[in-house]
Amino acid sequence: MTAPQRRTLRFETLDEMLDDARDVVRRPHVTVRNWTDGQILDHLARTMNCGFDGFGFQAPLWIRLMIKPFRNGLLVKPMKSGYRLPNDAVNLQPEADVSSEDALSRFERSVERLKAEDPQQLHPFIGRLTPEEYRRLNLRHGELHLSFIVPTE
């Protein structure tokens, strides 16, 4: 039997991302790789909230300069997997034992907040983003992480 493969996702709206998260975690599913479904949703919620509340860290200048030419691609193209969070990115680390239900509730609140409010914080890797750019970046980030939750029926 082969291991399940990640899903290919593309979200145009925050509601599409929210609907997918609700659907996939409420159905029988498996997660591909290391995090549970709760950890994935908790991480996505934390990242969205950091756009309002601050990230608590900043990437080194050389990384920010290296990423700058790819800024627009990060907002449009699918994100690649395999990046590790820096050690000082504690605000983005999911809780080890977060339940699916609690994480989905946090994720729902964070998406609603992102729909209703405009994030203003500097992104630790990209720098200044408009509210719409923040929303697009969160859609790309959601596509990446939610692709690791795979329905089994």
Say what the pLDDT of residue 3 is. 61
Categorize the per-residue pLDDT at 2 as very low, low, confident or very high, splitting at 50, 70 and 90: low
Categorize the per-residue pLDDT at 1 as very low, low, confident or very high, splitting at 50, 70 and 90: low
Judged against a pLDDT cut of 90, whether residue 153 lies above it is answered with no
Say what the pLDDT of residue 142 is. 98
Give 123's strand partners.
Answer: 127
pLDDT tens per residue across span 108-128: 999 999 999 999 999 999 999
pLDDT tens per residue across span 79-119: 988 888 888 888 899 999 999 999 999 999 999 999 999 99
pLDDT tens per residue across span 44-82: 999 999 999 999 999 999 999 999 898 899 999 999 888
This prediction has a pTM of: 0.94
96: amino acid identity, one letter = A
Kindly write down the DSSP assignment for every residue of the chain, as one continuous string.
Answer: -PPPPPPP---SSHHHHHHHHHHHHHSSEEE-SS--HHHHHHHHHHHHHHHHH--S----HHHHHHHGGGHHHHHHSPPPS-PPPPTT-GGGSPPTT--HHHHHHHHHHHHHHHHHS---SPBTTTB---HHHHHHHHHHHHHHHHTTEEE--
Alpha carbons 68 and 91: distance in angstroms, whole number: 23
Say what the pLDDT of residue 83 is. 82
Categorize the per-residue pLDDT at 4 as very low, low, confident or very high, splitting at 50, 70 and 90: confident
Alpha carbons 59 and 127: distance in angstroms, whole number: 10
